[in-house]
Chain A
Amino acid sequence: EGQLVESGGGLVQPGGSLRLSCTASGLTVKTYYMQWVRQVPGKGLVWVSHINGPGSTTRYADSVKGRFTISRDNAKNTLFLQMNSLEVEDTGVYYCVREVDDFDVWGQGTMVTVSS
């Protein structure tokens, strides 16, 4: 069965940067929108960004515009999220999601903690 596996999370100071990756295996993703969704443990889901299959269309939540960049490498079945100028409020589990039938496949998530 296909899956999405995120990596790249960790502890970073405010103002720092991290790059998240999401690799698909046994799953077709290159023709579909892919997205990132954040969740503070114990709290609700927050949409962060998505990108279309060719990578030519990207959209972002207002809270991350100008700081985060979503991209993809379809040859490697990999989605990325470059996060710069990180803020404490960016803390949470970041899920990679395939946007077929709205949200059909979710990864297990990678934890990002922004703290001094």
Chain B
Amino acid sequence: QAGLTQPPSVSRDLRQTATLTCTGNSDNVGNQGAAWLQQHQGHPPKLLSYRTNKRPSGVSERVSASRSGNTASLTITGLQPEDEADYYCSAWDSSLSAWVFGGGTKLTVL
């Protein structure tokens, strides 16, 4: 099953802003929106955003998500050392009747 496309890595300086992207098509991101997950090494993923731009309770206000066409974006402002992690996007694909994931982006905070 075709997945979503994410850049393998992004590096930003401490206290700067990082924007991660996730590109799909009209059957998934463009139609259903995307969810974003954060995973620190050795731990299960944690939900950061769902249904394009909804933030679960307990997630930092520094995190926001959006979508433009078939591309979803996750923005983290005021980067902190604890933001260094792997980030995955996912969307329901109405053509495949399956969830699809991106390959993940490793965010490094310099």
A interface residues, Cβ below 8 angstroms from B:
35, 44-47, 50, 59-63, 95, 101-104, 106-109
Please report whether the interface of chain A is mostly helix, strand, loop or mixed according to DSSP: loop
In the assembled complex, the Cα of A44 lies from the Cα of B6 at a distance in Å of 11
B interface residues, Cβ below 8 angstroms from A:
1, 35, 37, 44-47, 50-51, 54, 56, 88, 90, 97-104
**Pair B98/A59 contact, Cβ less than 8 Å:** yes
**Pair A45/B46 contact, Cβ less than 8 Å:** no
Please report whether the interface of chain B is mostly helix, strand, loop or mixed according to DSSP: strand
B29 to chain A, nearest CB (A): 13
Query: Across the two chains, which residue of chain A brings its CB closest to B96?
Result: A62
In the assembled complex, the Cα of A40 lies from the Cα of B28 at a distance in Å of 24
Can you pick out 13 interface pairs between chain A and chain B where the beta carbons lie within 8 Å of each other?
A: A45-B37, A47-B99, A50-B99, A61-B1, A61-B98, A95-B45, A102-B35, A102-B50, A103-B35, A103-B37, A103-B45, A103-B47, A104-B50
- Chain A residues with CB under 8 Å of B45's CB are 45, 95, 103, 106
**Pair A102/B51 contact, Cβ less than 8 Å:** yes
Assuming A61-B1, A62-B1, is B47 touching A101 (CB within 8 A)? yes
Contact for B44 among A44, A61, A109, CB less than 8 A: A109
